[in-house]
Structure 1
Amino acid sequence: MTDRMGLWPVRWDARLLLAVLVLFPFLGLGTPPLFDLDEGAFTASTTEMFLRGDFLSSYLLGEPRYDKPILIYWLQAASVTLFGHGEFAWRLPSALASSAWILATYAFATRVIGRSAGLTAALVIATAAGLAVITRAATADALLNLWLACAGYATWLWMREDDRRWLYAAWLAMALGFLTKGPVALVIPGGAMFLWCASLGEWRRFLAWALPLGPILLFLAVAAPWFIAQTFIEGPGFLAGFFLKHNLSRFDTPMEGHGGNYFYYVPVVLVSLLPHTGLLLAALGRLRAVWQDTLLRYGLLWFLVAFVLFSFSGTKLPHYVYYGYGGLVLVLAAMAERPGRRWLILIPAPLMFGLLLAMPAILAAVAGKLKPDDRLLLTGLPDAFGAAYWLWCGAALLLSLAFLVLRRIDTTRALRLNGLLAGVAMAAFLIPIVGQVQQAPIRNAARLAHDYPGELVLYGIDTPSFQTYAGRAVRKRAPHSGDLVLTRESRLAKLPGAEPVYRERGYVLARMP
């Protein structure tokens, strides 16, 4: 156990690594355009708050948006008010939340396992491939993951130290999570706590956690007022839309085409943890030891709650399973403290860098099977992967292979270097490249549309970032005379007389006669 004065690294290189990891979500933060659908939907909804002059209710393209609670919109509104309506400002709340998530994970893992484990846990969150995307996305998920981590860690400290202040902290974090994304902020910590107590027969402890009067009153004081105000403003339809459609109904049927089979999250987990997937494979080989350790059992059950819950959900998105990663990283960090087969832990890194080097060829092969509009979007794809991409990924592949065979470089250090190489590859190269290919035409058309007269309309496409970049109200409907319409080349023929004013790789901005 590490005392409070000993939480922070002693060696200068460990201090430097922690500082780099905490700041890592800011790498490349403002470089790629906003991604549709998710980043576009969140930022367009916040933009609509400014356009409507209403910062209590969320709307998207003129329609009420009951999908998510209000907290992330408020934070985005504050950020762009202070720093302007650029990509950096839109993503800043998520980056700050991610930095806090990384720091909280380091502090907790250090306190309950040790400093080295704390650095490894922070490393996984900062540099794993899937998390490199979510930690710098202008959505609610980075913020939710912070609150889930704080709730789970505070719960464990309450159990270990019998200090009621940690119980209040856990319920406060769940309240803020509820204001961020709704009931999942209660379900994940509650499910983990229930299963952990059930596995040990600690039913009184579970009831003490689940039914504390003071913490519940704190939860209601923080989470309830906005929901009450929204119900008063929007009527009962808000509660039905939020709780029934956008929460319960997601488990019955796929929404917005986001479905999948029961094994959907198996490859998601394996790929999203790269280059640290070897730690997961090591944990699978030591499940008995993991289960016998009460802390690691807690982390494992926390992960399994999210994994199983969303595996059986009708609606599936890759980042849903990340809600369990606050617990999973504890297991992974413990595996790094007791490394077994070096090759098993380190081999995923060169595999990942090899995959990144093959990515342009893979995308080119896939392009031939896409619809005509999407083939146009990928025009010039080989040029998007410049020399810097090839040099970084090629050097990273060679270094990761060297780390694998040179045993004088210990496994923990090799793991950390691989993580940093992979994190930079994702944040500084791959994500910006994909963003430019996928989203640049929409951003360019929107900036042009900002000064054009007439109403702005989306026709046959769902790209809400068009409203964010245009800074004007956009509607999704059949075009009328005088409208300025963003559509795809294949749909232009359905708009007789439409005069294109801008074209780029399959997207067309056209004036209706």
Structure 2
Amino acid sequence: MKKFFNKRDNLFLILFISFAIIYVMLLGAYPLLEPDETRYVTMARDMFTSGNYLTLYLNGEYFFEKPPLFFWLESLSFWFFKDISEFTARFPVVILSLLPLGLLFSLSEKVKNQKFAFLNSAILLTTLEYVLITKIAMLDSVLTSLVSSSVLCYFFTFFVSEENKKYFWYSCYILMGLAVLAKGIPGAVIPAGTILTGTIIFRTYKETLKNMPAGIVLFLIIALPWHIIMLLKHGSLFFNEYIIKHHLMRFLGAEVIHRNEPVYFYFVTLLWGLFPWIFSLLSSLRKPRKFNLENGYDKFLVLNITAILVILVFFSCSGAKLITYILPVYPFFAVLIGHIWYERSMKKFMVIVAVMTILGGFASPFGYKLDYSFGQNDLMQFAKMAKDNNYTISTYKTGKKYSLLYYSGLKNVEFHTGENPEWLRNELYRKNNYLIVRNKEIKDLPVNTEIVKQGVKYSIIKSPEV
């Protein structure tokens, strides 16, 4: 076993097999998930087919919540494969995740050795929430890859030769700029917060300040142009929606997206998100460690702890909280857990990796499909019926279900809240249109309503006179 892990090619082979099984093998075998995948991939599809790569649209309306990098990557994938599908939507997200994985392996090997690099990489690949989210076409996956890579490039500056430091500083700022284009302010706050905290802890003020001017220029060259163009094009509408509402107000209060969770929300998330490695992490807390900041290995551990704390504090202080926001923390936890496992049984470690690889590759798609059975299958079926029959779609009290947009190929679906009874009466008589309602709402509809097709949770209805 020891000889096996001394060979670099063997380590890469294991990581490659694990990555391929978990993240690539069944990538297109299950439909897009509600609500994020269906919403964002629909927007990317509309961007690609329209050729408008600046202004984002959702359901025929301006969408100023997010910047465009994710949608550019999606469009590039659609162009490369000449296809718009579940696989081509998820492919760029998964490929981008190789960047932090490669940086993590390389840096861990430089700091200690290839065994440590393998442990850290394998742990990251098989951590539960990372497995579930990183292969989904959503903005948080892209943000995680870019933010963690930016921070890892900063870490590199502590362990490379003096003449090479500037390249990692520049890479750190470039990736920070791309992270802002992926999801706005968090893309800058996390790396900048880690750099600031690390600078204070290790007293590297001169080093940080020396590379800051050029770094900021690179950051602004990447992050600013799209924002300036959008401000010039859409003015106060973009400023109020993008900057005020979806950046400032999201952080200060959860009312924007109705995600008001307690301050300890992410600590609870980590209890299941770090499975199966959470148990070894918790057991290690009984043996606190003193760190020697002059020692390179200890310095590396402290840097990762710093990144973890910056991410947890930032998102815990935010008014809006979602489980996906915490995703950037996992590469840094992988290092701490790799440190714990370094002196433990490799046979036991490999069993855990093998089990998680099988579960991640085969069980997670099954879990997604199980989720579809609670209503999304109905929506996908109805959307495909509308596409086949060239019908439009409207809904009544279903909420915004973007499966209907993506799988119907429509540019617009009318989602109605039910506040206007007159609208419902008119809609029942509308021709060449599927009106979709939740089954539990059928009892409140006019007595002459006819059910065209009933699913597990949703139905298509009309007036019998249509």
TM-score (norm 2): 0.86
Residues 261 and 176 of structure 1: CA distance in aligned 2, closer, same or farther (over 3 Å): same
Q: Could you tell me which residue of structure 1 aligns to residue 278 of structure 2? A: 277
Q: Could you tell me which residue of structure 1 aligns to residue 205 of structure 2? A: 203
Q: Could you tell me which residue of structure 2 aligns to residue 101 of structure 1? A: 100
User: How big is the shift at 1:73?
Assistant: 0.7
User: How big is the shift at 1:261?
Assistant: 0.9
Residues 151 and 122 of structure 1: CA distance in aligned 2, closer, same or farther (over 3 Å): same
Cα pair 2:230 2:238 within 8 Å, conserved: yes
C-alpha distance after superposition, 1:351-388 (max 9, x if no partner): xxxxxxxxxxxxxxxxxxxxxxxxxxxxxxxxxxxxxx
**How do residues 97-496 of structure 1 correspond to structure 2 at under 5 angstroms?**
97-161=96-160, 162=162, 163-209=165-211, 212-254=212-254, 255-289=256-290, 293-339=298-344, 411-435=345-369, 436-438=372-374, 439-460=376-397, 461-478=399-416, 480=427, 481-482=430-431, 483-496=433-446
Mapped to 2, the partners of 1:193 and 1:283 lie a distance apart of: 27
Equivalent position SS for 1:173 = helix
C-alpha distance after superposition, 1:306-346 (max 9, x if no partner): 1122122211111211222232222222222144xxxxxxx
Equivalent position SS for 1:262 = coil
State the one-letter code of the partner of 2:366.
Answer: P
Mapped to 1, the partners of 2:347 and 2:58 lie a distance apart of: 47
Residues 174 and 245 of structure 1: CA distance in aligned 2, closer, same or farther (over 3 Å): same
Mapped to 2, the partners of 1:55 and 1:485 lie a distance apart of: 32
State the one-letter code of the partner of 2:150.
Answer: A
Residues 77 and 55 of structure 1: CA distance in aligned 2, closer, same or farther (over 3 Å): same
Mapped to 2, the partners of 1:123 and 1:299 lie a distance apart of: 17
1:501 aligns with 2:447: no
Cα pair 2:153 2:169 within 8 Å, conserved: yes
Mapped to 2, the partners of 1:509 and 1:50 lie a distance apart of: 30
State the one-letter code of the partner of 1:20.
Answer: I
**219-228 or 422-431, larger mean C-alpha shift:** 422-431
Q: Could you tell me which residue of structure 2 aligns to residue 37 of structure 1? A: 35
Mapped to 1, the partners of 2:444 and 2:48 lie a distance apart of: 33
User: How big is the shift at 1:493?
Assistant: 4.4
Mapped to 2, the partners of 1:215 and 1:468 lie a distance apart of: 40
User: How big is the shift at 1:188?
Assistant: 0.7
Q: Could you tell me which residue of structure 2 aligns to residue 90 of structure 1? A: 89
- Which runs of 5 or more structure 2 residues have no equivalent in the other structure? 417-423
Residues 243 and 417 of structure 1: CA distance in aligned 2, closer, same or farther (over 3 Å): farther
State the one-letter code of the partner of 1:273.
Answer: L
Equivalent position SS for 1:271 = helix
Cα pair 2:110 2:159 within 8 Å, conserved: no
Residues 286 and 51 of structure 1: CA distance in aligned 2, closer, same or farther (over 3 Å): same
State the one-letter code of the partner of 1:105.
Answer: L
User: How big is the shift at 1:283?
Assistant: 4.4
Q: Could you tell me which residue of structure 2 aligns to residue 56 of structure 1? A: 54
Mapped to 2, the partners of 1:287 and 1:142 lie a distance apart of: 32
Cα pair 2:145 2:328 within 8 Å, conserved: no
State the one-letter code of the partner of 1:465.
Answer: S
Equivalent position SS for 2:97 = helix
Cα pair 1:128 1:419 within 8 Å, conserved: no
Cα pair 1:459 1:486 within 8 Å, conserved: yes
Equivalent position SS for 2:413 = strand
Cα pair 1:25 1:98 within 8 Å, conserved: no
- Which runs of 5 or more structure 1 residues have no equivalent in the other structure? 1-7, 340-410
User: How big is the shift at 1:199?
Assistant: 2.3
Mapped to 1, the partners of 2:265 and 2:401 lie a distance apart of: 26
Mapped to 2, the partners of 1:11 and 1:78 lie a distance apart of: 33
User: How big is the shift at 1:434?
Assistant: 3.2
**327-336 or 195-204, larger mean C-alpha shift:** 195-204
**168-177 or 433-442, larger mean C-alpha shift:** 433-442
User: How big is the shift at 1:303?
Assistant: 0.7
Equivalent position SS for 1:258 = coil
- How big is the alpha-carbon RMSD for the aligned residues of Structure 1 and Structure 2? 2.4
Q: Could you tell me which residue of structure 1 aligns to residue 421 of structure 2? A: none
Mapped to 1, the partners of 2:266 and 2:35 lie a distance apart of: 21
User: How big is the shift at 1:12?
Assistant: 4.8
User: How big is the shift at 1:442?
Assistant: 2.1
Equivalent position SS for 1:160 = coil
Calculate percent identity across the aligned residue pairs.
Answer: 22
TM-score (norm 1): 0.78
User: How big is the shift at 1:204?
Assistant: 3.2
Equivalent position SS for 1:457 = strand
Equivalent position SS for 1:40 = helix
Residues 335 and 233 of structure 1: CA distance in aligned 2, closer, same or farther (over 3 Å): same
C-alpha distance after superposition, 1:156-207 (max 9, x if no partner): 2223333211111111111111111111111111111212222233333443
C-alpha distance after superposition, 1:202-232 (max 9, x if no partner): 33344345xx222222222222221122222
Cα pair 1:487 1:509 within 8 Å, conserved: yes
State the one-letter code of the partner of 1:79.
Answer: S
Cα pair 1:489 1:506 within 8 Å, conserved: yes
C-alpha distance after superposition, 1:238-274 (max 9, x if no partner): 1222222112212222243322111111221121111
Cα pair 1:280 1:332 within 8 Å, conserved: yes
**450-459 or 112-121, larger mean C-alpha shift:** 450-459
Number of residue-to-residue matches in the alignment: 433
User: How big is the shift at 1:86?
Assistant: 2.0
